[in-house]
Amino acid sequence: MRTIRLGKTGITVPQNAFGALPIQRVSEEEAVSLLRNAYDGGMRFFDTARAYSDSEIKVGKAFEGMREKVFISSNTQATTREKFEEDLNTTLTNLKTDYLDIYQLHCVARCYTEEDDIFQCLVDAKQQGKIRHIGITAHKIGVAEDIVKSGLYETLQFPFSYLASERDIALVNSCKEADMGFIAMKGLSGGLLTDSKACMAFMSQYDALPIWGIQRQSELDEWLSFFENEVTMTDDMKAVIEKDREELLGEFCRGCGYCMPCTADIMINQCARMSQMIRRAPSQNWLTDFWQKEMLKIDSCVECGICRTRCPYELDIPNLLKKNLKDYKEILAGKSV
């Protein structure tokens, strides 16, 4: 297993990390078991967030008494000092620790600089010893590029998978040149990519630390298997990647859910990508009465446009929903597969 050094932080860990967003969906017992099994299997970097309901609490319980053996990152969407301090103190309490290895401003709309008090909050927290390194996450490539150019942050977290554009790859390389750690989120593009070996082989070509979203032991087992059986790019994997890129590149929903809640109660983060999901997983899972009712809610869309303003990828969500519903109805009618 290749090791990754996160730039000037000096943090060096296996290129195989744990994204703790999904563990908010399982019991505390299951989550703690997953996290400890991940550590036993070789993972050393664990990413969580204040916004992931009880994810931080579960991470804290899993690593109580062994804090120095793991690296933990979390983040905040705060834009004021009061909220920043509230989030950070809550996070430290939840994680049963007095410091974070990396604390990140999350999903920022622009690059915050020394002139912004929210950036100074990070500097102050580092001076107080509450955080060891200053990080930031972004979804928009232009914002991410500004962040790298600023030279103010020690790590950048950004969506990166084998659906990446040349511009995305250039961003990763620019982080390396700036001695800035690059943390890759959405390495499975919100679940659309299903070949873990191809995903791992792609990631191994870059100085990027992937945080795989893990919810089940079977998923964890796949990632842990790469510690014993290192994956390298092959012609077969290149073919898988090329096929997926042909099918998925363009306007597609990653399922992040930032668009929610919907004023018409539409489950946007699933319905807006139904065409892909139904073809990339057992179709019967998406043809149940439940999902038919959910998809038909799209007919009640009032096109208020709120979802469009929230989407970090600037997708035209109302039209994307309509396209997916049209395709879904044709599938139900047996006109397409």
Q: Which helix (H) or strand (E) holds 3?
A: strand 3-5
What does the alpha-carbon distance between residue 14 and residue 2 come to, in Å, rounded to a whole number? 6
pTM: 0.88
Q: Please report whether residue 251 resides in a domain.
A: no
Is 162 found in the same domain as 310?
no
Question: What percent of the chain clears pLDDT 70, i.e. is strictly above it?
Answer: 99
- Contact, 200 vs 226, CB < 8 A? yes
Q: How far is CA 132 from the centre of its chain?
A: 22
Is 85 found in the same domain as 154?
yes
Is 183 found in the same domain as 60?
yes
- Contact, 233 vs 202, CB < 8 A? yes
- Contact, 188 vs 159, CB < 8 A? no
Q: Please report whether residue 95 resides in a domain.
A: yes
Q: Please report whether residue 239 resides in a domain.
A: no
Is 284 found in the same domain as 210?
no
Is 210 found in the same domain as 288?
no
Final residue in a domain of this structure, among 182, 209, 233: 233
What does the alpha-carbon distance between residue 317 and residue 295 come to, in Å, rounded to a whole number? 14
Is 131 found in the same domain as 57?
yes
Is 37 found in the same domain as 184?
yes
Is 272 found in the same domain as 229?
no
Specify the CATH number for the domain of residue 173: 3.20.20.100
pLDDT in tens, 222-268: 999 999 998 989 999 999 999 999 888 777 788 888 899 999 999 99
Which pLDDT belongs to residue 281? 66
Is 201 found in the same domain as 116?
yes
Q: Please report whether residue 262 resides in a domain.
A: no
Is 295 found in the same domain as 189?
no
Is 126 found in the same domain as 82?
yes
| Total count of domains within the chain | 2
* 53: containing domain: 3-233
Q: What average pLDDT does the chain have? A: 93
Burial class from Cβ neighbours inside 10 Å (0-12, 13-18, 19+) for residue 54 reads: middle
Residue carrying structure tokens 């102050």: 124
Q: Please report whether residue 244 resides in a domain.
A: no
In three-state secondary structure terms, 81 is helix
- Contact, 158 vs 139, CB < 8 A? yes
Which pLDDT belongs to residue 69? 98
Secondary structure (H, E, C), 232-293: CCCHHHHHHHHHHHHHHCCCCCCCCCCCCCCCCCCCHHHHCCHHHHHHHCCHHHHCCHHHHH
Q: Please report whether residue 238 resides in a domain.
A: no
Is 170 found in the same domain as 82?
yes
Higher pLDDT, 79 or 285: 79
